Amino acid sequence: MRIALLASIALALSTTAFAQSLSGNQIRETLIGNTFSGFADGESYSEQLNPDGTISGRSPSGAYSGRWRISGDEICFSYLEGKRTTKWDCTEVKLKGGRIIWDDNTTAKLNEGAR
């Protein structure tokens, strides 16, 4: 039990250790026009942040859409759920190699060049 706890602490620390926090301009240069993929709400997803402020996403549940905006040094997301849009959810962005790390320490893989 103690080894498992230490292993999970080490994994959490290694995820964020040496990650570079991105400024608003760096977020725009790194994420916009590229795709990234990850795991959230119990399923995998892939999203493209389009230059016009829209999000094109796909998960096993199907295609989805939303909007993005940059506010200071955070990126904010709002998704279409049924006929309503969710409230804006903003997060700082850290980058470690090809991994994006969000505020809640979940990660996504940056797929640069997949424009």
Q: Which domain range does residue 54 map to?
A: 2-111
The H or E element containing residue 71 is: strand 62-71
Collect all residues with Cβ–Cβ distance below 8 Å to 16 and sequence separation of at least 6. 94, 96, 101, 105
Give pLDDT, residue 63.
Answer: 95
pTM above 0.85, yes or no: no
* Paired tokens of 56: 């094109």
Domain count for the chain: 1
Helices (H), the chain: 2-16, 24-31
CATH number for the domain harbouring residue 11: 2.40.128.640
pLDDT in tens, the chain (115 residues): 444 433 444 444 444 457 899 999 999 999 999 999 999 888 999 999 999 999 999 999 999 999 999 999 999 999 988 888 889 999 999 999 899 999 888 899 998 754 4
